[in-house]
Amino acid sequence: MVYRISPENVRPPRGGPSGALAMVLVLAVVVGIWLLAGRDPGSSTFGGQDPDQRTAPAGEVAPNDPVSGLPYVSPVDLPLRVIDLLADVDTGANLPGGVTRRPLPNTTGVLPVQASSRYYIEYDVGGGALLVTGSRGERYYSDDAGATYARVGP
């Protein structure tokens, strides 16, 4: 038996975009948004900066670090021996006499929680003054033997 299909019995395809056309349209919208936003692929939503380096808008000084919630302390407001220690740590120079260096496990959780117990390094400057550095370059200062901290910066 032979079936004949006449043009009258063939239905035209339904209207609407095909799957390929829909994918092209979605891709075009995504690329358009990306170009308008001016961001690189994979950049974060807070402007592509390291979250520990965010600061207040130009001309303003944030009262607290947005990551840790700790208040900021300006480097110029630190004791001179702590400023000198910061310079020694940054340059890799030998530590001054009387300063001890050890990992800080942050068991109290006063500083932002990190996965590694060796993330923070504590420098005991003496007299209750502590300088703590993080693996990503953040700096914290305490003048009460670690009961409270302030973020050094911005």
Name residue 134's beta-bridge partners. 120
Phi-psi domain of 129 (left: phi exceeds 0; alpha: psi -120 through 50; beta: other): beta
Supply the pTM of this predicted model: 0.59
123: phi then psi, degrees, rounded to nearest 5: -115, 115
Residue range 126-132: mean pLDDT, rounded: 92
Name the more confident of 58 and 7: 7
Q: Mind listing the pLDDT tens digit for each residue in 64-91?
A: 888 888 999 999 999 999 999 999 998 8
On the question of pLDDT at 30 being above 90, the answer is no
Question: 96 with 129: CB under 8 angstroms?
Answer: no
Residue range 11-32: mean pLDDT, rounded: 68
Residue range 103-120: mean pLDDT, rounded: 90
